[in-house]
Every structure is written in C-alpha cells, then in structure tokens.
C-alpha cells in the first residue's frame, strides 16, 4: 500500500547584502550609483535625440523654421 506523505517545499529567502564573496554576486547598494548614472545617460540621450531631430527639421524645412521663429518672437 502506498503511503500518503506530503512533500513540503522549502522556499529560500533571497537576501541582499553589501559586498561580495568569492563566487557570489550580491545586488545591493553599490549598484544604485551605477543605476543612477545609467538613468542620467538615458535621459541625456533622449534629450539629445530630440534636439538633433528638431535641428534637422529646422535645417530642412523653411516652413518649420519660420513657424519656430514666429513662436519665439511672440
């Protein structure tokens, strides 16, 4: 006869610690400064892409340049 036993699953609690041990990588405080730098670079790229496309539009289209110039004068 088969015995009915319940299998229990052990779930490991993920811990985040400052520092590293050989062979292990911890996600923690030292990475927040790198994340902040990366976010600033992404924002900078978006702003630069907007400025570049605006500048190209103004160089190519006379009507767009006139509209922007009139908006700046007002």
Long-range contact pairs involving 18-22 (C-beta distance under 8 Å, separation at least 24)? none
Q: Is pTM beyond 0.85 here?
A: no
Tell me the per-residue pLDDT of 6-39, one tens digit each, with 9 for 90 and over.
666 666 555 555 555 666 666 555 678 888 999 9
pLDDT tens-digit map of 31-59: 788 889 999 999 999 999 999 999 999 99
Contacts of 59 (CB under 8 A, 6+ apart): 65
């Amino acid at each position: 006869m088969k015995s009915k036993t319940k299998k229990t699953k052990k779930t490991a609690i993920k811990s985040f610690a400052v520092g590293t041990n050989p062979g292990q990588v911890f996600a923690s405080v030292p990475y927040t400064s790198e994340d902040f730098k990366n976010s600033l670079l992404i924002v900078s790229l978006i702003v630069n892409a907007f400025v570049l496309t605006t500048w190209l539009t103004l160089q190519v289209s006379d009507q767009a340049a006139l509209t922007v110039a009139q908006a700046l004068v007002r």
